[in-house]
């Protein structure tokens, strides 16, 4: 956060405040944290962590199934 505020030239006094607000919003609502099992702090705070993780597991399961199917199809075509 220091790099955002200190390394940029700000034309108006309220610019650093807006930059900090954007950083906090990104950090809490968009950036996944490894220490929180790769969910956002907002997901943990609002009790959505399990839902997000289960949704990811379902997507992963479907993608692996699709890849297996695609791989088996390519093996059949090659033979």
On whether residue 55 sits in a domain, the answer given is yes
Question: Model confidence over 17-36: pLDDT tens digits?
Answer: 888 888 899 999 999 999 99
On whether residue 73 sits in a domain, the answer given is yes
Question: Model confidence over 40-70: pLDDT tens digits?
Answer: 999 999 999 999 999 999 999 999 999 999 9
Q: What is the pTM of this model?
A: 0.64
* Structural domain range at position 69: 51-79
On whether residue 62 sits in a domain, the answer given is yes
3-state DSSP of the chain: CHHHHHCCCCCCCCHHHHHHHHHHHHHHHCCCEHHHCCECHHHHHCCCHHHHHHHHHHHHHHHHHHHHHHHHHHHHHHC
Provide CB contacts within 8 A for 5, sequence distance 6+.
Answer: 16, 19, 20
On whether residue 36 sits in a domain, the answer given is no
On whether residue 24 sits in a domain, the answer given is no
On whether residue 17 sits in a domain, the answer given is no
Domains of the chain: total: 1
């Amino acid at each position: 956060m220091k790099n955002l505020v200190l390394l940029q030239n700000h034309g108006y006094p309220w610019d650093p405040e807006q930059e900090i607000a954007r950083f906090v919003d990104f950090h809490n609502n968009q950036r996944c944290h490894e220490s929180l099992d790769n969910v956002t702090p907002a997901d943990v705070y609002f009790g959505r962590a399990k839902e997000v993780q289960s949704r990811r597991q379902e997507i992963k399961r479907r993608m692996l199934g699709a890849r297996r199917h695609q791989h088996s199809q390519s093996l059949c075509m090659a033979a």
